[in-house]
Amino acid sequence: MMLQIYEFQKHSAFIRKMIEKARPFVLFRMPMQKNTYCFIPGKIRMVEYLECFASIEDEVFVFAPFSPDAQAVIFEDSLSWEEVNYLEGSAVYESNGSFKDLLNPTKENDYIAEVEKMIAFLKDGQAKKVVLSAIFSKQFKVQHLSPLLFDFLSNEHPGAFVYLAFIPNYGLWIGASPELLLSYEGQHLKSMALAGSVPRFGDKKWGEKEKLEHDYVVEFILQNLLNAGCTDIEKKGPQIIQAGDIEHMCTTFEALGNFEQAVKLVVSMHPTPAVCGVPREEAFQIIKQTEKHPRLLYSGFLGIVSKQFFRLFVNLRCAKLDPQHAWIFAGAGITSQSNPTAEWDEVCLKSRTIANALEKTETFLKNGDFYP
């Protein structure tokens, strides 16, 4: 396995060519790190979600969707820059344009009405918490500038896992996730509960709704660590972290466990209450009945996996980049104490992580700035 260090000035033209020719790749930068890496797969597997960790010998890159019913994509056999001379005459992967007919922007009135309906479900005892997502459409006719968009997100969100990827069956995606699902290295496991949000600016205060929403995720992760047989479990928090224009409650977990226990944790934890709800199965069914768009890779997970280590992140603050539009996904946790208008304001604010970077990219183009 050979991960290649990506340099914007040196390689951005190459990545633009990959995008234009619809060839699979992923650029990624880990939180609080300087180096960006490129994974260009020599082999790709489409697998059922539960098979993500089967038959892994070397490092692979995994993209798992929100729904366990949809297929995950695994990049294998990372090629070096020198080996990637297959651009001419190699297979071109379709981005599955059928999704275009399924993606429509969420209207404010519709979202508020759905939240009100969901609150009624929750007060009726059908669930304790459900995460309701929205989708925003923003014109983006410069798909070839996606490497620049990636660069802007990396600079503006140093604490996020930032990626840009062309993924067979899903198309071109970009994201800057603040949430670690699970990391494993040398018997050490790490995870986090990231739930409960307020605007970074303004006079909004932390209330019982946000604290309760966070506690659901904390209890869920702790119980899963215990069920997997992990030892030396240490919980820290909650503390407040910033992600763009949002503040989140964050509780971190560390524990000891082996690879099999780590895999069991990923399978049992995804999707967590932070992106689905409590109880999970009931919340999942309510989401299927309520949301009018497919989540696709939004609120799934992605990252590097090997037998020795892995780092997986929840796919938040992300967008699907089509030739004419960026489809931005965002969600809010709904409880019986939710204010429908405030929940709409929250998803709008979360969408700004990607929207701000899109606007900066377009301004760069209009100003005629140099782009390698």
pLDDT at 313: 98
What is the pLDDT, as a whole number, of residue 99?
Answer: 56
Domain count, the chain: 1
pLDDT of residue 95: 46
Give every CB contact of residue 301 below 8 A, 6+ residues apart in sequence.
62, 64, 181, 266, 270, 312, 313, 314, 315
**The pLDDT of residue 94:** 45
Tell me whether residue 372 is in a domain: no
Residue 314 sits in a domain whose CATH number is 3.60.120.10
282 within a domain of the structure (yes/no): yes
CA atoms within 13 A on the CB side of 87: 14
Determine the structural domain holding residue 299 and report its residue range: 4-366
- Taken as a whole, the chain contains a residue count of 372
Domain-embedded: residue 371: no
Type of residue numbered 309: F
How many degrees, rounded to 5, is the angle at CA 201 between CA 200 and CA 205? 75
- Cα 161 to Cα 26, 79, 305, 335: the distances in Å are 12, 22, 15, 28
Regions of the chain with pLDDT less than 70: 1-3, 85-101, 368-372
Give the whole-angstrom CA distance, residue 169 versus residue 52.
16
> Among 132, 108, 119, which Cα is nearest to 293's?
132
User: Residue 224 domain-assigned?
Assistant: yes
